[in-house]
Amino acid sequence: MNLLLISNSTNAGEAYLKYPINEIATTLAGVTEVAFVPYAAVTFSYDEYERKVQDRFNEIGIKVRSVHRVINKRNFIRSAQAIVIGGGNTFALLKKMQEEGLLSAIQRRVKAGTPYVGWSAGSNVTCPTICTTNDMPIVQPESFRAINLVPFQINPHYLDANPEGHAGETREQRILEYLAANRNRYVVGLREGCMLRINDEGIQLIGSRPMRIFHKGKQTYEVQPGDDISFLLNR
């Protein structure tokens, strides 16, 4: 497989998709057009989302064509040179993909080698489930089962912060709750500005910040870019 799973689209003070665009270009080398899945958009239209991504992809000479524009969406995915799924609300994204029967079509294509790029919700849906998303369930999908391209769970936008005066759960506490109910699953806390590249050479953390590793019965710890994290791909 050839995946680039990005925590967030935009770093503070930067333009949209600016920081990961070179890594996106590497993943999509030789690709001239991508099939874009915009269904995580909620407060703006799919047309707007397609235009926003196209504006950045113009820099790397790639056309963005959204799945919402075609009639036979599964055939569109089956013939795509590459698949890109953007961020937004993970529940809205999964519900729409389930309704259109896209999960299995995407899984088959990506497992056969079709490049895949996702950020935020687009990274969440590559996991076995979307249970480690940060999003509010504004709609109800058929189930939480996702595309299942990787055997671990991602928590994008991972935060260590516990603001003064905040009495609720931290991000870490919520992940530990997930692990209490899912004892055999790894969860990675992918901080902003970071991404995971997965290909025939294995899995690599890219970015300037460490990634947090969670597993039931193990002390939570951090890995740095360059560390061996191949164990995450063991099913």
Positions annotated as catalytic residues are: 120, 135, 157
* 130 within 8 A of 94, measured Cβ to Cβ: yes
Distances (CA, A) of 120 to 11, 15, 74: 12, 16, 23
- Strand-pair partners of 118: 5, 85
- Both structure tokens of 73: 């969406």
Q: Looking up tokens 């333009």, which residue turns up?
A: 15
d(CA 197, CA 233) in angstroms, rounded, equals 12
Q: Is 5 exposed, middle or buried (0-12, 13-18, 19+ CB in 10 A)?
A: buried
Per 3-state DSSP, what percentage of the chain is helix, strand, and coil (rounded to 5)? 30, 20, 50
**How far apart are alpha carbons 63 and 34 in whole angstroms?**
6
